[in-house]
Amino acid sequence: MVSDQKRLGAQDDPAITAEVEQLLARRTRDIRFSGEIERLFRARVWSQTAKIIRAWMMWVAVLDVLTLALYMVILPRAIAVSMLLPGAIIPPVVIAVVLAWRKPRPSWLQGPTLIAGMFLILFSVALVGVSAGGEFYERHLNIMLFVAITAIIIFGIPLAWTMTIAALALGLYLIFQLQNPAIELGSAVAATLFFASGVLATIAARRIMTILAQKTFLFELRDRRRVAELAKANARLELLARTDPLTGIANRRWMTETLDHLWGNDKRCLDGAAMLMCDIDHFKKLNDHLGHAEGDRCLVEVARIIQENVRRDHDHVARYGGEEFLVILPGVNEEEAVFVAERIRKSVEAAGFPNPGSRVSRRVTLSIGVAVQTSEEAISPEQLQRQADAALYLAKQTGRNQVLLHRPDSAERKHSQSTRSAARR
């Protein structure tokens, strides 16, 4: 049996899609499956069909055993014993068919197995009546046709298999009726034709049921494809809604959702976190001197450098404004956060992107404000961002191209500033 994954994957095949649309454009009665569509349909209905066939076979076996047991009780011993041997054919045949239909096998094996099993079951039912003779002769031939008709109605098998079973049943009926001493030749032929009309009507009804099931399957394939296309379109829209179109990194909306997720409901980041606010120095002058195209290229390259200097599977980077980038570093302390920020700053400066209008350097530089929250602190991400913004503002006010860590005490903040400035010199 084709797996669900293969069946779902087939809906993306343009040839399958075209064939589905072509079949649905036809009248319902003109639907005919072939090739891959037929294989997909058989894979779709196999499990249900197999369960029905196995259950029907078991039902026939149980009825056979119960009927023979009843005959042993109510009929003369000689007649009952004559029924036992032909009736004993059914249980082993049922077991063989049930085993053949326990799991998917090639149709060239399961089809003949089912047809042969049906022939032996029908032959057994008819032979029980023929062996007993008298009133049982006609009765069991009628029971045989009833058994065949129930199988035709409920078995969701290919039409060729169904017609073969019907032909076998009618053939057995005609052969045994021709040998029935109780009726004439004309009556045997007339009875066979009468039952043949009923069997053909049953086959037609079974065919309609199959066509309706096939049409439902076509709708299912088409709907799955449309749902898949809609899901892909929604995924693209969601990606566009959360991604900065220029740099390809997350945008402000996505970062806001990430912050809410990291902080949770108790306004604490359980592992602690650092926030880096990065701003390109004199970015407006770069646009004025080199043009907006060069400014866009600078933003793309800076975003790439920032991503290369953080943990891809752990940290979060977003373009937060025009030339501002926000970085979240979960689970780091002050020293680690400043180290990462300084590595980003140095990498951008070393890249050597030109910025002839900058009063800091002839190359593109970054100013970075750092704020850190420990796992014990209960401050909101908005408060942490204000702290990072304050540190960034101070970094830009005191010379740019530097990393400053937010300190609640201004004296400590100035000390941090002078220490890092001396280190750069």
State the average pLDDT for the chain.
Answer: 88
Q: Is pLDDT of 375 > 60?
A: yes
Query: Is residue 349 annotated as a catalytic residue, yes or no?
Result: no
Q: Of the listed 36, 135, 138, 323, which one is catalytic? A: 323
424: pLDDT confidence band, cut at 50, 70 and 90?
very low
- In tens, the pLDDT along 191-200 reads 999 999 999 9
Q: Is the pTM of this model over 0.85?
A: no
pLDDT for the residue numbered 12: 61
Between 8 and 297, name the one with better pLDDT. Answer: 297
Q: Is pLDDT of 389 > 90?
A: yes
The predicted model gives 17-32 an average pLDDT of 84
The domains located in the chain, with CATH, are 4-226 (no CATH), 252-424 (3.30.70.270)
DSSP-derived letter for residue 269 is -
pLDDT for the residue numbered 261: 85
Q: Name the percent of the chain lying above pLDDT 90.
A: 64
**Is the dihedral angle over the CA atoms 75, 79, 85, 86 positive or is it negative?**
negative
10: pLDDT confidence band, cut at 50, 70 and 90?
low
On the 0-12 / 13-18 / 19+ scale of CB atoms within 10 A, 376 is: exposed
Q: Which residue has the tokens 């060239």?
A: 108
Whether 10 contacts 36, CB under 8 Å:
yes
Whether 131 contacts 82, CB under 8 Å:
yes
Q: What's the rounded Cα separation, in Å, for the pair 130 and 157? A: 30
Between 378 and 309, name the one with better pLDDT. Answer: 309
pLDDT for the residue numbered 410: 45
pLDDT for the residue numbered 74: 93
Tokens of 360: 């800091």
pLDDT for the residue numbered 32: 84
Q: What's the rounded Cα separation, in Å, for the pair 394 and 408? A: 13
Q: Is pLDDT of 156 > 80?
A: yes
Residue type, 404: L
Tokens of 379: 């401050």
Alpha-helical segments (H) within 309-409: 334-351, 381-397
29: pLDDT confidence band, cut at 50, 70 and 90?
confident
pLDDT for the residue numbered 267: 65
Beta bridge partners of 275: 328, 371
Tokens of 221: 């394939």
Residue 105 parent element (H or E) = none
